[in-house]
Every structure is written in structure tokens, then in C-alpha cells.
Amino acid sequence: MLSLLKKEISAFLSSLSGYIVIGVFLVITGLLMWVLPLESNILDGDYAGIDSLFVLAPWVFLFLIPAVTMRSFAEEKKTGTIELLLTHPLSDFEIVFAKYLACLLLAVLALLPTLVYYISVYKLGYPPGNIDNGRTWGSYLGLIFLAGGFASIGVFASSVSNNQIISFILAVALCYVCYAGFGYMGAFLSSGAAGNMVQMLGISAHYSSMSRGVIDTRDVIYFISLSFLFLMMSRTALESRKW
């Protein structure tokens, strides 16, 4: 599995696609946080913090991660290399998991340069260092878990189609429903226990909880379960070729 993971990562980094994803993410967040005169602009804020990054990043990832994952299996099917891939001495789940990890690692690589934002705000604060570190690192962890959830959804979307565009559209739609759709449905239903239960099925509620700097095991279990569910569905989609 490690060799397949290395192959997937090198495929991303040896082509423009990986660098374009990282570049687009940094350009969009950089403009919205530091340049454009919007509410998300840090320099116009009243306190030292990079909360706007953690508000913007999920919506940027909503499109960028499906753009990365859409080629995972769809391209293999279109070029006919999927049969060769399935002959590797790996289980279907190991193949799915290797592709998932490669996509997740690319998302983490895109996040690493944003540490410059944190350092900048840390230095600009009055006094220097006047920033809520617990909330910041909790938000980073939540963003990594969110990226993992989106990546698993994207891999599943790619496993059920041999067309990358269809995989991308399906992944964006599923990510949106899982991130914000349940929240809207819960708010529409009621503000009682039923509405809260529906909202807790969505990614947004658990991501917001982690963004407060409190790492609740229930949120961690949710993200792990969500990723595992879609990875198992991806494995089932691959196995269906043998039926």
C-alpha cells in the first residue's frame, strides 16, 4: 500500500494539478483575508485571530478537494488501467485507502503555508502573542478532519463513475449536503430535539465544535466514522466490477 501511496503523491506533485490546487487555495484565502476590503479581512478586525481562515477554508475545500479526488478512480476506469490496478497484491480497501491518504496529504500540504498567517497575526497582536492558541490549533485540527471527510466523499464519487466531470459534480453536491445541508434541514424542521439531531448528522456542527478549541471525542468519532463509511462504499463500488 505504501508504494501505491507514494505513486499517487508523486503523480500529484509531478504534474501541475497538485500545485494548482495548493496555489488556488492560498491565493483565494490570502486575498479574502489580507487584501480585499471585506468582513473577513484580518487587518480590519478588532482582535488578533485567523478565524476568517477557518470560515473560508471549508467552502474553498468544497470545490478544491473534489477537483483532486475526481481523477482517483474515474481516470483509471477511462484509461483502462483499473484492471491492472486491481491485480496488485492489495485488497480493494487498501487501494481505496491509499488513494484517500494521498488526497488528504495534498490538502494538508495546502494548509501548511497558512501557518504564515498565524505567525503574522501572532506578531501583529498587541501585545505580541495575544492570540487564542487553543482555538487556533483546534480549528486546524478540525479543518484536517473536515478535509478527510471531503476526501473520502470525493474518492467515493470517483469510484462510481468513469467521467471526471461527473465525479467532480457529484462530490461537490455530496460534500455540500454533508457540510451544510443537514444544518439547513435541521433548522427548517424545528429547533427542538429532532432538529438538533438532524443538524448533528452534518459536518458543520462538529467542525464548529472543534473550532472552539474543545476536542470532543464525539466529534473525532464522527469524522472517523464519516470517512470510514464513504471509504467502505468506495470499496463496495470497486467490488461491484467483479459481480
Q: How many domains would you assign to the chain? A: 1
- 92: its cell numbers: 480493494
- Distance, in Å, from the CA atom of 163 to the CA atom of 161, rounded to the nearest integer, reads 5
Domain coverage including residue 57: 2-242
Write down the pLDDT at residue 183: 75
Q: Indicate the pTM of the whole model.
A: 0.90
CA–CA dist 64, 25 (Å, integer) = 8
Cell of 190: 424545528
77-131: pLDDT as tens digits:
777 777 777 777 778 888 899 899 999 998 999 899 999 988 888 887 777 767 7
State the average pLDDT over residues 139-161: 93
